């Protein structure tokens, strides 16, 4: 039987791997990805369904040893939904204390207020095309700062128009970076780029670099 002290220093992890960061501000940097098991959302375009249930319980020191083994400066905590496991907050703090450049990829449905301020938070806004738009936690927007990013995955022209109206409705400007990304194989990257340019929209166009390089290969 595992005691409470042991439970407080472990997490269920689907995989830890080394690749190039494919998204957000650290795109292109060699990065260690720590993928958490489990997610309360079911976005229709999810490309990591394999992380919903499969994973091993690892202690913090085991995670740290594997992360250090790759020799990379950047660490991305992703999922699944990392914040669905409360101990994620402790891991983020520990990774920052160790001197890593740490980013967190989160669905936008969880409270980010307790995330260490040294972490770069990449927060999704779920569009109607995701089928999870009702899960957006609007309160998170007030917490975002210059290190953070807000990401819209665009599944259609309707999603694009919705996202543009959403930015105006919530007054989301340039206190943090706003990313528009075409849903893989649902929206032409060229089409999305042209919509942004035609509307003079002050957002950053983003392609998933890892999909360009490796397609749907898991762990890349």
* CATH code matching the domain that covers 4-214, chosen among 3.40.50.300, 1.10.10.60, 3.40.630.30, 3.20.20.70: 3.20.20.70
Note the pLDDT tens digit of each residue in 42-99. Answer: 999 988 899 999 999 999 999 999 999 999 999 999 999 999 999 999 999 999 999 9
Confidence of residue 6 (pLDDT cuts 50, 70, 90): low
Domain ranges (residues) in the chain: 4-214
- Residue 218 confidence class, pLDDT cut points 50, 70, 90: low
What string of DSSP letters covers 118-186? TSEEEEEE--GGGT-GGG--GGGGGG--TT-EEEEEE-SHHHHHHHHHHHHHTT--TTSEEEEEEPTTT
What's the Rg (C-alpha) of the chain? 17
Mean pLDDT of 145-159: 96
Per-residue pLDDT tens digits for 197-212: 999 999 999 998 877 8
Average model confidence (pLDDT) across the chain: 93
Total length of the chain = 220
What tokens does 203 get?
Answer: 């957002």
Q: Provide the pairing of β-strand 120-125 with 177-182.
A: unpaired
Q: What is the pLDDT of residues 33-54, one digit of tens each?
A: 999 999 999 999 988 899 999 9
**What is the reported pLDDT for 172?**
81
Inform me whether the pLDDT recorded for 160 exceeds 90: yes
Q: What is the pLDDT of residue 210?
A: 78
**Closest residue by Cα to residue 154 from 137, 171, 129:** 129
């Amino acid at each position: 039987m595992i005691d409470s002290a042991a439970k407080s220093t472990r997490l269920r992890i689907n995989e830890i791997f080394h690749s190039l960061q494919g998204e957000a501000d650290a795109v292109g940097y060699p990065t260690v990805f720590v993928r958490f098991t489990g997610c309360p959302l079911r976005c229709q375009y999810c490309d990591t369904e394999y992380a919903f249930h499969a994973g091993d319980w690892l202690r913090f020191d085991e995670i740290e040893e594997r992360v250090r083994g790759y020799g990379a400066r950047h660490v991305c905590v992703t999922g699944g939904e990392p914040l669905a496991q409360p101990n994620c907050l402790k891991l983020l703090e520990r990774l920052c204390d160790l001197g890593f450049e740490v980013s967190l990829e989160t669905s936008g449905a969880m409270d980010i207020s307790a995330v260490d301020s040294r972490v770069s938070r990449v927060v999704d806004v779920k569009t109607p095309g995701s089928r999870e738009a009702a899960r957006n936690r609007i309160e998170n927007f007030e917490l975002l700062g210059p290190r953070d990013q807000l990401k819209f995955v665009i599944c259609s022209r309707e999603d694009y128009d919705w996202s543009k109206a959403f930015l105006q409705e919530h007054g989301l400007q340039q206190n943090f970076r706003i990313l528009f990304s075409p849903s893989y194989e649902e929206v032409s990257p060229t089409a999305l780029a042209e919509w942004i340019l035609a509307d003079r929209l002050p957002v950053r166009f983003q392609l998933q670099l890892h999909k360009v390089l490796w397609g749907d290969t898991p762990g890349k």
